[in-house]
Amino acid sequence: MSTQAEVRRLTAPDIRARKGTTPIVALTSYHAHTARIVDRHCDVILVGDSLGMVMHGLETTVPVTLDMMILQGHAVMRGSRQALVVVDLPFGSYEASKEQAFMSCARVMKETGCGAIKLEGGRRMAETIAFLTTRGVPVMGHIGLTPQAINTIGSFRAQGRDEKDWAPIEEDARAVAEAGAFSVVVEAVAEPLAARITAQVEIPTIGIGASAACDGQILVLEDMLGLSPRVPRFVKRYGDLGPGIGAAIEAYAADVRARAFPGPDNVYAMRGKPGKSS
């Protein structure tokens, strides 16, 4: 008999059903320890391919591999109990064909146990999204700024700031929703466009730099904690952990150099011999 209270993990249909109700709270996490904390407060944990930039110091997400996503996805599943864990498909693991996308999703879902995957692209990915969702893969879409396309778009800039650019982005949102995605990330788009998209699609929109008009919000954890050296202007810093971590490491280094650490409380005494550390 289980001694722990059973907690039912949120599912993609649960998140889908939140359209028009309470806002969906989402954050990224790549590790078991941060997942444990995020899990207490969030509905969705995204193991984003931003891990390439945040954990590995890469300039873009393009070099991230499926193996990197699976390793961190597994860690986040071990650290969390109630949130829906969504794992990103990295560049090159799904665009070639819908069959390639399915094989990548199957690996991610079998090897991590996650509840859904996310992939970037609107109309161009609609056929793939329909293929996946009819074969047991819950898909979160991602439109607007799609960072994996950095080499064709040239820079990480906001989308839809001129009304003449709105139509293709709205079409992307509708295509992803009609293909069967359970939700869609809308990244770095002008507020009125985010509001129009949210009103047009029947699935929840999860905004990042896309205003409070969206049905939910997501941020990169390290960005909102103040741990990232550079962040986009849409990020609100809810913490400033960098100086605290720096001060702790500085104190540790000083203690080690002064032989003040380990102290009596941090060493093992011999059994049966009373002493300060017994």
Q: Which residues bind ligand KIV (CB under 6 A)?
A: 28, 46, 48-50, 88, 185, 208, 218, 220
Give the list of residues 6+ apart from residue 184 with CB closer than 8 angstroms, or none. 140, 141, 142, 143, 173, 176, 177, 201, 203, 204, 205, 206
**Closer to ligand KIV at the Cβ: 89 or 190?**
89
Smallest gap, in angstroms, from Cβ of residue 179 to ligand KIV?
A: 19
Instruction: For the chain, state the CA radius of gyration.
Output: 22
Supply the minimum distance, in Å, between the C-beta of residue 209 and ligand KIV.
Answer: 9
In degrees and rounded to multiples of 5, residue 115 shows phi and psi of -95, -10
Q: Which is nearer to ligand KIV, 156 or 252 (CB)?
A: 156
Total Cβ atoms within 10 A of residue 118: 23
DSSP class of 62: T
User: How far is the C-alpha of 212 from the C-alpha of 65, rounded, in Å?
Assistant: 32
Residue 164 structure tokens: 């003449």
Smaller CB separation from ligand KIV, 128 or 217: 217
Of 60 and 277, CB closest to ligand KIV: 60
Q: Residue 183 CB, nearest distance to ligand KIV (Å)?
A: 11
Q: Is 187 a catalytic residue?
A: yes
Bridge partners of residue 118, in order along the sequence: 88, 140
Is 39 or 49 the residue whose CB approaches ligand KIV more closely? 49
- The Cα–Cα gap between 153 and 145 comes to 9
Instruction: Report whether the peptide linkage leading into residue 192 is cis, meaning its omega lies within 30 degrees of zero.
Output: no
Q: Point out the residue whose Cβ comes nearest to ligand KIV.
A: 48
Of 99, 187, 191, 222, the active-site residue reads 187
| Strand, helix or coil for residue 31 | coil
Task: Convert 169-193 to b/e letters by CB count within 10 Å (16 or more is b).
Answer: bbebbbbbbebbbbbbbbbbbbeeb
Give 218's strand partners. Answer: 26
Catalytic residue numbers read 187
